[in-house]
Amino acid sequence: MSGWIEYIAVAAGVAYALLAVQRIRWAWVFGGISSALLAWLAAQSALPLQSILQTVYVGMAVYGFQQWSLGETSVSPRIVRWPWQAHLVSVSSVALASLVFSPMFAAATGASWPRLDAAVTGVSLLATWMTARSVLENWLYWFAVDMASIFLYGIQGLSLVAGLYAVYFIIAIFGWRKWLAQYLRQ
């Protein structure tokens, strides 16, 4: 049963990423579908934080769709940049939360990779929120998340999901370039 779920999750995830690069609001619908399926797969693979993360992504998909629907077109709002101080605070907060909470998660859930799972979860939530708010640097965070997720899902035997994150990494390169060009034209 998980085989076909993994295929659908991957296909919807690729659709999400490709549409997000183009800043088309329907990306969030595909992202929500992919995340719901990935939540189930992660739960079945002893990655509880990834399961929670994917469940939160479903809610973020609703938020992202709403944010990108504020205008009259299907394209998201203006691209913005964060000052370096915002990045410093954000990354420091995620790192601290990961270090503090990962031992508790490991004890409570039997997570396979608690520290990495916690860090990927924190950075993923931050990057998703940044994407919904059209913050240019979201793509830089996705580079790190994608690389860590390739390892995390691969070591748990979910090779298609690991492959999805490899595709996400490549798409993030194009996303960064496209959004940067759009930002410079604004």
HSE toward the beta carbon, residue 144, CA cutoff 13 A: 16
Q: Is residue 16 scored above 60 in pLDDT?
A: yes
CB-side neighbour CA atoms (13 Å) of 62: 6
Interhelix angle 2-21/27-44, nearest 10 degrees:
150
User: What confidence tier does 26 reach under pLDDT thresholds 50, 70, 90?
Assistant: very high
Whether residue 176 has pLDDT greater than 80 = yes
pLDDT of residue 2: 65
Mind listing the pLDDT tens digit for each residue in 133-158? 889 999 999 999 999 999 988 998 88
Chain-centroid distance of CA 164 in Å reads 12
Q: Which of 82, 87, 172 is nearest to 136 (CA)?
A: 82
Average pLDDT over residues 51-62: 91
Q: What is the average pLDDT score of the chain?
A: 88
pLDDT band at 102 (very low <50, low <70, confident <90, very high): confident
Which of the residue ranges 41-50, 82-91, 107-116, 158-167 has the most confident prediction, judged by mean pLDDT?
A: 82-91
Residue 105 in tokens: 């998660």
